[in-house]
Chains A and B, each alone.
Chain A
Amino acid sequence: MSGVEHAVEIRDLHKSFGELEVLKGIDFSVEPGQVVCVIGPSGSGKSTLLRCVNLLEQPTSGRVVLEGIELTDPDVDLDAARRRVGMVFQQFNLFPHMTVLENVMIAQRRVLKRGKAEADRVARENLEKVGIAEKCDAYPAQLSGGQQQRVAIARALAMNPALMLFDEPTSALDPELVGDVLAVMRKLAEEGMTMLVVTHEMAFARDVADRVVFMDGGVIVEDGPAAQVIGDPQQERTKAFLRRVLDPTHTDV
């Protein structure tokens, strides 16, 4: 065998919604400790790809293998496998009827069956890490978007995931709040967390990602080191996309 196991391995992944084929055969893998950013125009299938990795969307065909366990196997214990994957959503999706601390504790208690004291300790540690330890007893509605997103990150981290998925984590934030969330993500990356990030933040992709994947029309167009894909793209479609994103005021109409 290849020796080192991939954190995630995706083979010939297809996903259709009715007639519409969103993913047209995706092949790629993420190595442990790697940070991979997925960029591309909206509708290119980035989010669908991410949602297929933890099977929030059922792929039409193809394989998703997580740490050697095939998630697309119909007999796999999906709930068990998902515990190893943390997910952060664009809309945060905190549980509004629970305090910040309860949000971070609930899955530890109910899924991992941790004791109350341990769950509390782990929750506080992770809230500390994302810089919101003082908001433990607040409800999500009382927090800013940036704070909510950091709680969502802490909630995922509390499950000790092997892989973190980020689905446009800063797209719903006011511009001045984006930095706090990106700083937390950068810290995570530096600590060696394996991360798969769908993002429009080109600066983050360039500075933090080991690899950048450019998707368009349901296929991977370009995949390589961050500096190369963003700094010196080889494909015409990548170049056109980056021109529009990096220099929006000079886009040719």
Chain B
Amino acid sequence: MTDHLKAAEPSRPAGTPSGRAGLSPRKKQRISRAVQYVVLAALVVFLALRVEWGPLGQNFAKGEVAGEMFPDLFTVALKNTIIYSVGGFVFAFLLGLVFALMRMSSVRPYRWIAVAYIEIFRGLPALLIFLLILFLPLALPGFEVPGGTYGQGILGLTVVGAAYMAETLRAGLQAVPKGQMEAARSLGMSHARAMVSIVIPQAVRIVIPPTTNQFVALLKDSSLVLFLGVSGEYVELTKFGNDMASTYANATPILVVGITYLLVTIPLGYLASRLERRQAKGR
């Protein structure tokens, strides 16, 4: 059929509407679309029939097990996840800002230090950092991370987050037009004063949308606190879910914890894209 169409095409004078013989591109597209819908529907029906819903529901959505998770799910696990993530985010932002400024400094050793830090900690798996922190007291006898378990978790997230934040903030600082610094200097401000009053506030506004995404990434990375061997009142969502799942030999807690993460991350994602759009308008 296609052969026939192809053969017929060139002989037809340009501009003449095609006859009834061949299918128009629009019709072909419609048929192809219909075939795809049919295949998709068949797949869904097939899966629905194949899956044994009873055992699946028993394992992933068991009401009693889910009930056991409250209220600790929110009052302990989610609360701790937020403490780790917000704490890590705040320190990562501050440390990232320091590295971003060092990276742009005219003092060469500052640039070296900043580049080394960024390259190292951006290139290492976050899990590895957490394992290192776990061994820190062995390496430095007598040393203890301030803040105990919270401190360790926040430190891990800070170390990882700062490397990414430094790069984001550097991009933001460089996106502020050069004229802003010149105008500030021409008004008699020192370089430092101009940075603090004029350049950094604008850079922070520029990086709000990517930073929101970074917070989401950090929130997910807070699950790695699991590997610090936390327990009791310090557990965060993933650890909490994992423990409950072991206790009841049932996967329901994992599903519930997953939904809890989404309750936070999806609204944050929307917030990020809204901020981004607002900023695009403001320019």
Contacts and interface: CB of A to CB of B under 8 A. Distances in A.
What interface size band does chain A fall in? 20 to 34
Contacts of B184: 95, 107
B186 A87 contact: yes
Contacts of A91: 177, 179
B51 interface: no
A91 B190 CA distance: 21
Given A95-B180, A111-B193, A141-B282, A82 B201 contact: no
Given A95-B198, A96-B202, A97-B201, A82 B183 contact: no
A150 interface: no
Interface in B186-210: 186-190, 193, 197-198, 201-202, 205
Contacts of A159: 187-188
B179 A111 contact: no
Interface residues of B, number: 19
Contacts, number: 62
A56 B182 contact: yes
A156 interface: yes
B179 to A, nearest CB: 4
B185 interface: yes
A106 B183 CA distance: 12
Contacts of A89: 179, 182-183
A91 B177 CA distance: 10
Contacts of B185: 56, 79, 82
Interface string A75-93: 0000110110111010101
Contact of A79 (B179, B183, B189): B189
Given A97-B201, A97-B205, A141-B282, A110 B189 contact: yes
Top 3 closest pairs, chain A to chain B, by CB: A83-B188, A107-B187, A93-B183
19 contacts: A56-B182, A56-B185, A56-B186, A82-B186, A83-B188, A89-B182, A89-B183, A93-B177, A93-B179, A93-B182, A94-B183, A95-B183, A97-B205, A107-B187, A107-B189, A110-B197, A111-B189, A111-B193, A156-B187
Interface of B: 177, 179-180, 182-190, 193, 197-198, 201-202, 205, 282
